[in-house]
Amino acid sequence: MAGHSNWASIRRRKMANAAKREKPVRASGGGFEAVRFEGYGPGGAAVVVDCVTESRSRTGTEIRDVFANHGGNLGASGSVSYLFHTVGLMTYPPGTNEGRLLQVALEAGAEDVITSADTSIEVLADPVEFETVLAILTGSGFAPATAEVTERASMVTPLSGTAAELMVHLLEALEDLHDVRDVYSNVEISDEVLARP
């Protein structure tokens, strides 16, 4: 399984640091529904957008416009979601004792432990086992920097140059829409592009 894209890692850090504004959570009922949109960004990168909305057509129009304005296109239902899998994800910063974490995580029932190039570590668990694995890791002295059930791409699409810049703008514009709750992508973008304002 491919590593979590660096866009997702940066997004997770922003959320953990409360850098993103809070969006009110809407209760189900009262005409609100969960809707998923799928599409392709610049360079063919897959994008999944989860929303909660009272107007599927209004939200769909907003999503379609954002894709079109940033070099992407909205796809049909199922066009890219097959590339993503729901996983329990716990992250650990560089410097974490990898050998000991690996041992404890696998004994706790984790499915995989992945070390990134920057030596940060991701522990993957079945979503059903997520709370149990998290409790065992935390109880063993391995409290994660972040822990969530999320979507993880099975393959990544590396982008650079103009396509990467357009993709960053697309993802940010999608996340800024009021009805959007989560944006997932399989894009891998260089740190130098992500560092640009």
pLDDT at 8: 55
pLDDT at 3: 43
DSSP state string for 66-124: HHHHTT-EEE-TTSSGGGEEEEEEEEE-TTS-HHHHHHHHHHHT-SEEEE-TTS-EEEE
The DSSP letter of residue 22 is: P
pLDDT at 191: 74
pTM for this model (two decimals):
0.78
pLDDT at 17: 39
How many residues are there in the chain?
A: 197
For the chain, give every domain's residue range.
Answer: 6-82+154-195, 85-151
The fold adopted by the segment(s) 6-82+154-195 is Alpha-Beta Plaits (3.30.70)
Q: Cα(140)–Cα(24) distance, rounded to whole angstroms?
A: 35
Q: Contact 133/144 with Cβ under 8 angstroms?
A: no
b (16+ CB within 10 A) / e for 126-158: eeeebeebbebbeeeebebebbbebbbbeebbe
pLDDT at 117: 82
Largest CA distance in the chain: 50
pLDDT at 197: 65
Q: Cα(159)–Cα(189) distance, rounded to whole angstroms?
A: 5
Q: Cα(81)–Cα(84) distance, rounded to whole angstroms?
A: 5
pLDDT at 26: 47
Domains 6-82+154-195 and 85-151 share a fold: yes
Per-residue pLDDT of the chain (197 residues; tens, 9 = 90+): 344 454 554 454 445 433 333 444 444 446 889 999 999 999 999 999 999 999 999 999 999 999 999 999 999 999 999 999 999 999 999 999 999 999 999 999 999 999 988 889 999 999 999 999 999 999 999 999 999 999 999 898 999 888 998 999 999 999 999 999 999 999 988 777 777 76
CATH superfamily of 85-151: YebC, transcriptional regulation domain (3.30.70.980)
Q: Cα(102)–Cα(104) distance, rounded to whole angstroms?
A: 6
